[in-house]
Amino acid sequence: AKAEALQSDGAKAFENVEDAVKGAQVIHITLKDDAAVDQVLAAAKAGLEPGAIIVDHTTTSAEGAVERTKSWKEEGFQYIHAPVFMGPSNALDSSGNMLISGDQHLIEKLTPELSKLTGKLINLGDVPGKAAGIKLIGKLFIISVTAGLSDALTLANGLDIPLTDVTELFTDWNPAANLTNRIEKMIAEKFDNPSWELAMARKDAGLMIKAASKADRHLMTIPEIAKRMDVLIDQGNGAKDWMIIAKQSK
C-alpha cells in the first residue's frame, strides 16, 4: 500500500520483491531489523542481476552487517551497510547524515550517488559493521538525552515551573557545547581534578529526586544514576570528578 501511494510521484510498485530488483545494478533497502533484511534479500535473490550492489540503510546489528557483507560476496553480489541519521524530512530534502564502512573501492564508486541522497556521507573506514556500531552508539545517545530531558520536564512540572522556561534555559545555556571535551575526559579517566565533585553531584541528585517525589512525580533516569553514585562514593570516590560514574564504560 505504501509503495502504491508513491506511484503518482514516479515510483513503481511490485507485488513481489524479486520483480522489483530485476534489471537494477544498485538496490537500496530500508527495513525494520536484521531478520527483515535477511528475509527480503532472500526473497529478492532470484531477481538480482549478477554482481548487483545492495546498499542497506537499515539500523541493524554490527554482526549482521558483517555477516551479510561476507555471505553476499560469496554469492557474487556486493553488500554495503549505510545506515542513516535521517528522518522523513531529511529524506525529502537530502539532508542529515549517512554512515558507511567497508570495501573502500565500492564506497568510492557509490559516493557520488549516495552523497546526493544525504547532507553528509561519513566514511568510517574499511571495517565492515563499523557503520552499524556507530549508528547504534548515536541512537543510544539520542535515547539517553531524551530520557534525561523527560526527567527535566518532569521535575519542572513538579516544581510548577512553566515548560517554556526550560526551553529558554537551553536556549541561553547549551550544556552540549563541551560534549567532545567531556568525552575526552571520560576516555582519559582524568577524575582527580574535579569541576564538580561526585559527592556534591549526588547531593544535587538527591534534591532532584526529593522534589519530584514530593510532587508525586517519577523520574526515569536520575534514581538509577544516584545508585551508581552511591556505589562509587562508598568506594571512596566522593572527592573525585562526578564523571567517574562513566568509568565502567571502557
Interval 105-144: pLDDT, tens = 999 999 999 999 999 999 999 999 999 999 999 999 999 9
- For the cut 90, the answer to whether the pLDDT of residue 1 exceeds it is no
The answer to whether the 2-127 and 134-249 domains have the same CATH topology is no
What fold is seen in the domain 134-249? N-(1-d-carboxylethyl)-l-norvaline Dehydrogenase; domain 2 (1.10.1040)
Interval 80-108: pLDDT, tens = 999 999 999 999 999 999 999 999 999 99
Find the mean pLDDT for residues 202-228.
98
- For the cut 90, the answer to whether the pLDDT of residue 200 exceeds it is yes
Superfamily of domain 2-127: NAD(P)-binding Rossmann-like Domain (3.40.50.720)
- Phi-psi category of residue 120: left, alpha or beta, with phi > 0 → left and psi -120 to 50 → alpha: beta
Q: Cα–Cα distance between 92 and 98 in angstroms, integer?
A: 14
The domains of the chain are located at: 2-127, 134-249
Residues 6+ apart with CB under 8 A from 240: 191, 192, 194, 197, 198, 232
* Model confidence, pTM: 0.92
Give residue 250's pLDDT: 47
In this structure, the number of other CB atoms found within 10 A of the CB of residue 8 comes to: 7
Mean pLDDT of the chain: 96
Cross-strand bridge partners of residue 97 = 85, 120
| Closest listed residue to residue 55, CA positions, set 20, 107, 13 | 107
> The C-alpha cell of 83 is what?
545506515
Q: How confident is the model at residue 2 (pLDDT cuts 50, 70, 90)?
A: confident
